[in-house]
Chain A
Amino acid sequence: MPFIPHTDNEVREMLDAIGVENIEALFDEIPDSLRIHDVPGVPESLSEMEISRLMHERAGRDGQPACYIGAGAYEHHVPAAVWEITTRGEFYSAYTPYQAEASQGTLQLIYEYQTMMAELTAMDVSNASLYDGATALAEACLMAVRAHRKSKSRRVLVPKSLHPLYRRVTEVIAGTQNLEFVDLPYDPTTGTADLEALRQWQGEDVTAVVVPQPNFFGCLEDGDALTDWAHENGAMVIGVVNPTSLAVLQPPGDWGQAGADIVVGEGQPLGIPLSSGGPYFGVLCCRQKFVRQMPGRLVGRTVDEEGREGFTLTLQPREQHIRRSKATSNICTNQGLMVTAATIYMAMQGAEGLARVAAASHDRTRKLVGLLEDIDGVESVFDGPFFHERVIRLDRAADEVLAGLSERGILGGLSLKEWYPELGEAILVCATETKTDEDLAAYRDALRDVMAENRAA
């Protein structure tokens, strides 16, 4: 019996102690009409050897194509030690640290994580994580509504240059509470929020403005101007950031005169594998004055009865297990193990290592785009500064070109046709520090070939 230790004798002793004949008798309070005796649709048990063989075969079937897709999930080198330590049983198989004295490892690690995130974003505080970047944005919008009592409109301005899937998730999760999300168009030459379009909201009641940095197109928004406009108009600023980029880019806490109020982001680039989209983790940081409006776990440093340093969950009265229907969110479990990995990753890289990862990723993308632009029929869509993604336009069907590249073992980028049809045959490309000069040249050669074939067709 997989994972069940009982011997026949023990079962007998236990049943005798309870005073029943057999295990079936323990289910005698369940109405007979509801009892089942089999789950025939479940296949027979596999041994570890058998399931290993099956999983190796399946993982192998998916191949490992060279990936130039970013769009919110990024391939980075993950130091071997990160997951070696993260999957130690003491981290892997522990629960939420409710019993603080028996969970000091997890609690101290989260405190260190909170410190690292506050440093990266230049904000005052961080929580212990949310599910992912998109749900963190949804929670931030709800948090802004709670924190900004003067604003009655529940209106949030959202640039079209925000990740479209973040926008959808935010509408599903925060939309149930009557928030109004208003599109802010992007400037077709720079690919960044159109500051002129903000003018129509001048003097209107706006609860918050979302500032994605870098934005979905990889372009750098004018964080200073957007933040100052928002604050002058009585709105809060929610920054949506890539944490890796913050090693080299101006942190949201420093945007404009006063900095962002709430910062969220996808934590995946910090040592979390792509893994088909999850588990990742959501970053949430804010100004000290909003800390009581934060959703999710928070760890505080305190002392024990003997005055020794120790760590504990704090401000729990915000949470569902205490406040129930009046909680700041329904979130309970977050993404603890991912935070463990990210904390080890950040400690390993340090500020210099992370800046190298960020700068190398920028450099690789800059170089790739330069190579691709040399091909006939390929052009960059936007001017202006970017981080590690770029939109390029092809003079033939993007989907067919991508399919051709995929056959050659290259995922050449993400087609933007569905989300941004106005951009034409556009794809979003990304290269990180994992790509060598040879890799980039191989991509260029493959694209040149595929373009030529498609022209012939």
Chain B
Amino acid sequence: MLIFEHSREGRRAYAQAPQERPELEDIPKQFRRKSAPGLPSVSELQVVRHYTRLSQLNFSIDTHFYPLGSCTMKYNPRACNQLAMLPGFLSRHPLGPEEHGQGFLACMHELQEMLREVTGMTDVSLTPMAGAQGELAGVAMIKAYHDKRGDHERDEIIVPDAAHGTNPATATMCGLKVREIPTGPDGDVDLDALKEVVGPKTAGIMLTNPSTVGVFDRNIEEIARVVHEAGGLLYYDGANLNAILGKVLPGDMGFDVIHMNLHKTFSTPHGGGGPGAGAIGVSKRLQTFMPGPVVRKEGDRYRWSRADELPDSIGRLSAFMGNAGVLLRAYVYARMLGREGMKRVGEYATLNANYMMERLREAGFALAYPKRRASHEFIITVKRQAKEHGVTANDFAKRLLDHGYHAPTMYFPLLVPECLLIEPTETEAKEEIDGFVDAMASIDAETREDADKVRGAPYTLPVRRLDDVKAAKQLDLVWREGSKAA
């Protein structure tokens, strides 16, 4: 039932709105609304019960193992939320003076410093509001860097075929052309292909390392050398930073700019699709191009950066300073991890992934890159099951839901057919992983015995499989009085 269907004229949550409704006689009629908008008229209890019940229809980290590859669905510590929501932080206006923001700015400054340390970059800007916006900032900086040097011919960005869709989409948004290069059979970038496309038109390359196929690219130093020698810059997509936290610094690999998904590696919530936070780090040569504002410290006072401190800045990416509340959560998490904890993230995320990969291999599943170590994630392919029994990766995913496990990422990266990209994260206990492997094995047995059963899943969720074609063809994006899902 929709909230609108609980609505009764004349009902409302009396405690929440002002007691009076002042007249607006000084606003001429032509500016005023003629009929009330169709918001629901419901009681406070109805609202609470309706949305509490809706929440219970979701899988989430707090309720289910959620091994979604490339998304780092690790535990979001409750302290991070509670402490970011202290009244002093919540009530602070973004344009309030620095003297009423020293506590907040101190947290931001220390977060910048810690992120700088764990990435090996020269400087950090916290303002991008999601990974994709961090990418936009990074590519815009690369473009601005070449433009400033009068190097206007560089209008191509090299992107491996395994990359996240945001990489090529971002390059296009920045007015650059995308040159795609293939991934070799061992999962590393095809170096020969790279050498062929790189040249005087190369603005840069966008790389994820470990890559989205779940392996660490062993040729990264060679890649950096080739791209730099051609005059291009290197962009690091930090989606998989969790795998190497405390183990390798992107700055040491030769990257000029990186974004970090703080909602992955630094455990801020995914929130059903955001808000994220896509802080960026830069090498020395891009420092002056960063988006602002950043926090600076003078003596024991914190302040926003001045325009003359970022003279080549690409500018501002949000009306204020990005997702400040998310950054506070990341700060709390980073302080709780501390120096030792940072290293353990990469270690135990990698241990869990390799253990799970090994168990699935034993259970008879085909690995996409069987000769490689897993990073924090790995890929299995069910193309054999698809061919022999007509059971696809999507069917496995839906059946997993019946077993109480959220499905891994499906059909990504695009280069591996019928694939599941699996990322357990470091916060899952061994028995969860074992349980997942058992569920996969039982579904695999089911594909041989009763493939239709698998193809019909899920059975135990609030709905069975949904008609996506109908959803797209008969668009129903907005409820209208009396309308039903037909």
Instruction: State whether the Cβ of A347 lies closer than 8 Å to any Cβ in chain B.
Output: yes
Contact in complex: B351, A277 (CB < 8 Å): no
Q: Mark A1-39, 1 if CB is under 8 A from B, else 0.
A: 111111000110111011100010011111101111011
Q: Write 17 A-B pairs (CB below 8 A) sorted by A numbering.
A: A3-B427, A27-B350, A29-B218, A36-B249, A42-B117, A61-B103, A62-B104, A69-B93, A95-B406, A101-B465, A105-B55, A111-B479, A172-B316, A302-B476, A337-B272, A353-B12, A362-B24
Contact in complex: A124, B458 (CB < 8 Å): no
With A69-B95, A352-B36, A353-B17 as contacts: A102 and B427 at CB distance below 8 Å: no
Instruction: State whether the Cβ of A335 lies closer than 8 Å to any Cβ in chain B.
Output: yes
Q: How many inter-chain residue pairs (CB < 8 Å) link A and B?
A: 681
Cα-based distance from A357 to B170 in the complex (angstroms): 39
Instruction: State whether the Cβ of A348 lies closer than 8 Å to any Cβ in chain B.
Output: yes
Instruction: State whether the Cβ of A336 lies closer than 8 Å to any Cβ in chain B.
Output: yes
Cα-based distance from A353 to B79 in the complex (angstroms): 33
With A30-B216, A96-B273, A279-B326 as contacts: A132 and B319 at CB distance below 8 Å: yes
Instruction: State whether the Cβ of A176 lies closer than 8 Å to any Cβ in chain B.
Output: yes
Instruction: State whether the Cβ of A321 lies closer than 8 Å to any Cβ in chain B.
Output: yes
Residues of A close to B252: CB separation below 8 A: 34, 36
Cα-based distance from A73 to B463 in the complex (angstroms): 39
Which residues of chain A in 211-228 are interfacial with respect to chain B, using CB atoms and an 8 Å cutoff? Answer: 220, 223-224
Instruction: State whether the Cβ of A293 lies closer than 8 Å to any Cβ in chain B.
Output: no
Most interface-central of B117, B271, B401, B470 (chain A CB within 10 A): B271
Contact in complex: A119, B321 (CB < 8 Å): no
Binds A, one of B81-89, B193-201, B228-236, B383-391: B81-89
Which residues of chain B in 70-88 are interfacial with respect to chain A, using CB atoms and an 8 Å cutoff? Answer: 71, 73-77, 79, 81, 83, 85-88
Most interface-central of A132, A165, A333 (chain B CB within 10 A): A333
Residues of B close to A280: CB separation below 8 A: 319
Instruction: State whether the Cβ of A406 lies closer than 8 Å to any Cβ in chain B.
Output: yes
Residues of B close to A281: CB separation below 8 A: 275
Instruction: State whether the Cβ of A152 lies closer than 8 Å to any Cβ in chain B.
Output: no
Q: Please list the 6 inter-chain residue pairs (A to B) with the smallest Cβ-Cβ separation, ordered nearest first.
A: A277-B320, A89-B62, A45-B338, A337-B271, A277-B94, A59-B88
Given A330-B136, A353-B16, 19 new contacts (CB under 8 A): A17-B355, A30-B244, A64-B87, A79-B13, A90-B63, A91-B271, A92-B81, A92-B271, A95-B66, A95-B406, A173-B317, A248-B24, A274-B90, A276-B94, A305-B467, A314-B471, A314-B475, A324-B165, A324-B169
Q: Which of B33, B273, B315 contacts A246 (CB 8 A)?
A: B33
Q: Mark B32-67, 1 if CB is under 8 A from A, else 0.
A: 111011111110100110111111111111111010
Instruction: State whether the Cβ of B420 lies closer than 8 Å to any Cβ in chain A.
Output: no
Residues of A close to B146: CB separation below 8 A: none
Cα-based distance from A413 to B387 in the complex (angstroms): 67
With A34-B221, A168-B316, A276-B94 as contacts: A5 and B428 at CB distance below 8 Å: yes
Residues of A close to B401: CB separation below 8 A: 99, 101-102
Cα-based distance from A192 to B57 in the complex (angstroms): 47
Residues of B close to A10: CB separation below 8 A: 429-430
Q: Whose C-beta in chain A lies nearest to the C-beta of B16?
A: A79
Q: Whose C-beta in chain A lies nearest to the C-beta of B426?
A: A4
Cα-based distance from A249 to B61 in the complex (angstroms): 41
- The dominant DSSP class at the B interface is loop
Binds B, one of A49-57, A183-191, A195-203, A449-457: A49-57
Instruction: State whether the Cβ of B398 lies closer than 8 Å to any Cβ in chain A.
Output: yes
With A6-B430, A92-B60, A321-B412 as contacts: A51 and B38 at CB distance below 8 Å: no
Q: Which of B12, B168, B244, B338 contacts A43 (CB 8 A)?
A: B338
User: What is the number of residues of chain A that contact chain B, defined by CB distance less than 8 Å?
Assistant: 197
Contact in complex: B484, A309 (CB < 8 Å): yes
Contact in complex: A94, B324 (CB < 8 Å): no
Contact in complex: A278, B275 (CB < 8 Å): yes
Contact in complex: B130, A332 (CB < 8 Å): yes
Contact in complex: B429, A251 (CB < 8 Å): no
Contact in complex: B336, A45 (CB < 8 Å): yes
Cα-based distance from A357 to B21 in the complex (angstroms): 8
Contact in complex: B32, A249 (CB < 8 Å): yes
What distance in Å separates the Cβ of B380 from its nearest Cβ neighbour in chain A? 16
Q: Which of B74, B165, B318 contacts A135 (CB 8 A)?
A: B318
Most interface-central of B16, B88, B90, B131 (chain A CB within 10 A): B16
Instruction: State whether the Cβ of A153 lies closer than 8 Å to any Cβ in chain B.
Output: no
Which residues of chain B in 1-48 are interfacial with respect to chain A, using CB atoms and an 8 Å cutoff? Answer: 2-4, 12-13, 15-18, 20-24, 26-28, 30-34, 36-42, 44, 47-48
Instruction: State whether the Cβ of B166 lies closer than 8 Å to any Cβ in chain A.
Output: yes
Binds B, one of A143-151, A338-346, A437-445: A338-346
Contact in complex: B86, A59 (CB < 8 Å): yes
Residues of B close to A18: CB separation below 8 A: 354-355, 358
Contact in complex: A58, B104 (CB < 8 Å): yes
Instruction: State whether the Cβ of A394 lies closer than 8 Å to any Cβ in chain B.
Output: no
Contact in complex: B475, A291 (CB < 8 Å): yes
Q: Whose C-beta in chain B lies nearest to the C-beta of A106?
A: B272
Most interface-central of A41, A60, A281, A314 (chain B CB within 10 A): A314
Cα-based distance from A271 to B37 in the complex (angstroms): 18
Which residues of chain A in 85-112 are interfacial with respect to chain B, using CB atoms and an 8 Å cutoff? Answer: 85, 87-97, 99-106, 108-109, 111-112
Most interface-central of B39, B62, B272 (chain A CB within 10 A): B272
Residues of A close to B274: CB separation below 8 A: 96, 129, 279, 333-338
Q: Mark B131-173, 1 if CB is under 8 A from A, else 0.
A: 1110110001001000000000000000000001110111111
Cα-based distance from A104 to B55 in the complex (angstroms): 8
Instruction: State whether the Cβ of B453 lies closer than 8 Å to any Cβ in chain A.
Output: no
Cα-based distance from A48 to B171 in the complex (angstroms): 41
Residues of B close to A128: CB separation below 8 A: 273
What distance in Å separates the Cβ of A81 from its nearest Cβ neighbour in chain B? 5
Contact in complex: B16, A100 (CB < 8 Å): no
Contact in complex: B76, A93 (CB < 8 Å): yes
Instruction: State whether the Cβ of B341 lies closer than 8 Å to any Cβ in chain A.
Output: yes
Residues of A close to B59: CB separation below 8 A: 94, 99, 102-103
Q: Whose C-beta in chain B lies nearest to the C-beta of A72?
A: B319
What distance in Å separates the Cβ of A317 from its nearest Cβ neighbour in chain B? 8
Contact in complex: A103, B38 (CB < 8 Å): no
Residues of A close to B338: CB separation below 8 A: 2, 42-46
Q: Mark A271-288, 1 if CB is under 8 A from B, else 0.
A: 001111111110000001
